[in-house]
Amino acid sequence: MNIKDKTKTSAALGFIFITIFIDVLGLGIIIPVLPKLLQTLGHINVNRASEYIGWLTFVYASMQLIFASIMGNLSDRYGRRPILLISLFGFGLDYAVMAFAPTIAWLFVGRTIAGICGASTSTATAYIADVSTGNKRSANFGLIGAASAIGLIFGIALGAYLFAINIRLPFIAAAAFALGNALYGLFVLPESLAKEHRRKFEWSRANPLLSLQRIYKKQPALASLLTATAIIYIAQKAVEYLLSTFIYEKFDWTPASVGTLGLFVGLVLFGIQAGLIRYTVPKFGQKKNIIAGLIFYAVGLALIAIAGKGWMLYLCMIPYCLGGLSGPTLQSMASEEVAKNEQGELQGAFSILNSFSLIIGPLVFSYVFFFFTKKGSADYFPGAPYVLAAVLMLISVFLAIKSFKKPVKKVRVNS
pLDDT of 19: 76
Torsion of CA 268, 138, 118, 357, to 10 degrees: -80
Asked if 348 contacts 211 with a C-beta cutoff of 8 angstroms, the reply is yes
Q: What is the pLDDT of residue 2?
A: 47
Predicted local confidence at residue 359, as pLDDT:
82
List of residues 6+ apart from 406 with CB closer than 8 A: 220, 221, 224
Q: Which residues of 326-362 are buried (b: 16+ CB within 10 A; e: fewer)?
A: bbbbbbbbbbebbbbbbbbbbbbbbbbbbbbbbbebb
Task: Give me the residues of the chain with pLDDT under 70, please.
Answer: 1-9, 11, 45-51, 54, 118-122, 133-139, 142, 145-146, 201-208, 211, 221, 340-345, 347-348, 377, 406-415
Report the amino acid identity of residue 301. L
**Whole-number pLDDT of residue 3:** 47
Cα–Cα distance for residue pair 233/389, rounded to 1 Å: 10
CA 300, CA 321: separation in Å to the nearest integer? 8
- Secondary structure (H, E, C), the chain: CCHHHHHHHHHHHHHHHHHHHHHHHHHHHHHHHHHHHHHHHHCCCHHHHHHHHHHHHHHHHHHHHHHHHHHHHHHHHHCHHHHHHHHHHHHHHHHHHHHHCCCHHHHHHHHHHHHHHHCCHHHHHHHHHHHCCHHHHHHHHHHHHHHHHHHHHHHHHHHHHHHCCCCCHHHHHHHHHHHHHHHHHHHHCCCCCCHHHCCCCCHHHHCHHHHHHHHHHHCHHHHHHHHHHHHHHHHHHHHHCCHHHHHHHHHCCCHHHHHHHHHHHHHHHHHHHHHHHHHHHHHHCHHHHHHHHHHHHHHHHHHHHHCCCCCHHHHHHHHHHHHHHHHHHHHHHHHCCECHHHHHHHHHHHHHHHHHHHHHHHHHHHHHHHHHHCCCCCCCCCCHHHHHHHHHHHHHHHHHHHHHCCCCCCECCCC
* pLDDT value of position 103: 92
* Domains defined for the chain, CATH in brackets: 8-184+209-404 (1.20.1250.20)
HSE-up of 113 (CA within 13 Å, CB side)? 19
Q: Which pLDDT does position 227 carry in this prediction?
A: 87
Q: Is 396 exposed, middle or buried (0-12, 13-18, 19+ CB in 10 A)?
A: buried
